[in-house]
Structure 1
């Protein structure tokens, strides 16, 4: 597992930060979380391979998180605008089983946005895509905000996924904020699963928890080989022990199978002023990515008002649906995260703190504010920052 931040700005991009996008490498695949404008350009400047993208998870449909989706799809799947002579485009002649299928997850409106973009730009794709929508009880159970027919490159298998466990269905006028249940295992295979839950913003918004299945404890072969040789047993015993089997050697020596340790967990939040509904599935995250749009930085931020305080800035930020570093730190402490990565910064905060002294001072101050609430490791994301997700086992467990 590896995380690469492709865009770390909020609302508007700056010369040092692009719109929101985050790439998670999972084995040989790449999963994107949000896809702001110019994400495909950011990918071209990064080590992320566009052809490896298999899934895209949208947190909410604000433009700075979704405007880059259709262009990226066209780049991933060799998109084009058709032929001049009216002949059938070669892209549509390939057998479906030989084509790439891109899976997209997001709240209500994601499907309509993608379909409208592709339809009105007359974009053809050399591939197929499918959109799964996470539905609140206040959303229509059917329908997808568009009367457009299924795009010719869109699979009809897109699911409308209800919250888990089922909640009583309110009238459409009931706020989505009354529904705090998660969406469990929206994707799952033998190695990894993805669940989601609401987080509070100015529009319906979700966060995602990516959880690896338990993995075998690392073996030290040197501790077993002498015993196996002495007993005259085959070396294949090592693989049985690694799988967790208890083995009795021919000389009566009993070797216990290795157990498993928890897999890694990465939690990626969209925009939020309160992430409480996702707390249960975010517990013990190895990496928590949480926005920190604004901060009170007297003496560092020229936009600071004389009357500002940490409390007033937090109140103002909250009223716009966003968080301060302290809010992020408190949530990280609540869910016992190992590492907190602050993200989604105001355009006022430069993202080149690796080379710019002024930016380094500002981002250091933002980091310190989060550290007042959270004693684990804190990082401030910048575009193209990349880090591996390490295994971590709490000694108390």
Structure 2
């Protein structure tokens, strides 16, 4: 699971930051999921190492332009390129009407299936590997945050040990890999768990923007490996944040702390904190780290590989050795 930030500015793009969009690459299934799609997102994808042909799902938080104005252009380009099989889009009520109107007035017809799912709090998608759920955030319009949960899976299967035990390969190996108890033809009973390493704990990612600090964001982020949270304003501008129902750096950090996440990555920064101004982005990072030290500040094209729990534990053990 690799996260790529395609746009990290709020409201309007700047010379160095595009508006909101985050890609989640799933190499094991050659898929890319997109979270929000601000204007220019397809250009950002072209400038990245991502492959638009792998796009399969898009999750929209709310209907403000800096989160959806790139959606129609991206979908139209995918249709012209002819290399996308199907796209499922999840978002608030009104999203389907918006796309239908844009398609009608621009005379755009997709050459591949596009399905729009109006979401409500709870599980919105599930397959053998993942569960995606959403919940309400606190913004000026209906806004949803998303949580991606990777399901736990059995540890690595020890093929050499299986051969030593003279277990015949084939369908039995598959059963043992799943941790099942198998009775062999010679009467021996083999517990698959004894041939597998430690269970690989599924990773959790939460995406919360746009929102004021709220219980909904804390719930979505509970025990997440990574929380991606908006931090539009500095703490000094908290009054403006309350008026516009956006988060400050300290609100993002407090959400991460309350939810017990492993890492916070802030995004959606106001252009007012450009270099040379009284408050700069480096000051926002310091504010958040004062509350939640394991905080990063996203920038366009930043990538982050979400480690497995086992990988993190090994690194921690090595650091302590």
Same-fold call, TM cutoff 0.5 = yes
From 154, 178, 203, the counterpart of 1:264: 203
2:189 is equivalent to residue 204 of structure 1: no
Q: Which residue of 2 aligns with 1:288?
A: 227
2:103 is equivalent to residue 118 of structure 1: yes
CA contact (8 A) 2:33 2:58 kept: yes
**Aligned ranges 1:306-321 → 2 under 5 Å:** 310=236, 313-321=237-245
CA distance, structure 2, for counterparts of residue 251 and residue 111 of structure 1: 59
From 15, 36, 50, the counterpart of 1:48: 50
Report the number of matched residues. Answer: 304
CA distance, structure 1, for counterparts of residue 166 and residue 65 of structure 2: 66
CA contact (8 A) 1:99 1:126 kept: no
1:262 offset after TM fit, Å? Answer: 2.6
CA distance, structure 2, for counterparts of residue 241 and residue 364 of structure 1: 51
Which of these two proteins has the greater Rg computed from alpha carbons?
Answer: 1
Q: 5+ unaligned residues in a row in structure 1: which ranges? A: 80-90, 92-97, 135-162, 164-182, 297-309, 351-356
1:273 offset after TM fit, Å? Answer: 0.7
Given the superposition, is the C-alpha separation of residues 233 and 43 from structure 1 closer, same or farther in structure 2, using an over 3 Å criterion? closer
Secondary structure of the residue aligned to 1:127 is coil
Q: Which residue of 2 aligns with 1:109?
A: 94
> Which structure's residues are more often helix, by fraction?
2
CA distance, structure 1, for counterparts of residue 144 and residue 134 of structure 2: 6
Q: 5+ unaligned residues in a row in structure 2: which ranges? A: 314-321
**Aligned ranges 1:15-54 → 2 under 5 Å:** 15-26=15-26, 27-54=29-56
65-74 vs 277-286, which deviates more?
A: 277-286
CA contact (8 A) 1:36 1:65 kept: yes
1:78 offset after TM fit, Å? Answer: 1.1
C-alpha RMSD of matched pairs (Å): 2.8
From 291, 297, 301, the counterpart of 1:380: 297
1:390 offset after TM fit, Å? Answer: 1.2
Q: Which residue of 2 aligns with 1:73?
A: 75
Q: Which residue of 2 aligns with 1:392?
A: 309
Given the superposition, is the C-alpha separation of residues 193 and 252 from structure 1 closer, same or farther in structure 2, using an over 3 Å criterion? closer
CA distance, structure 1, for counterparts of residue 95 and residue 214 of structure 2: 21
Secondary structure of the residue aligned to 2:80 is coil
1:315 offset after TM fit, Å? Answer: 2.6
CA distance, structure 1, for counterparts of residue 56 and residue 129 of structure 2: 16
Given the superposition, is the C-alpha separation of residues 253 and 131 from structure 1 closer, same or farther in structure 2, using an over 3 Å criterion? closer
1:379 offset after TM fit, Å? Answer: 1.1
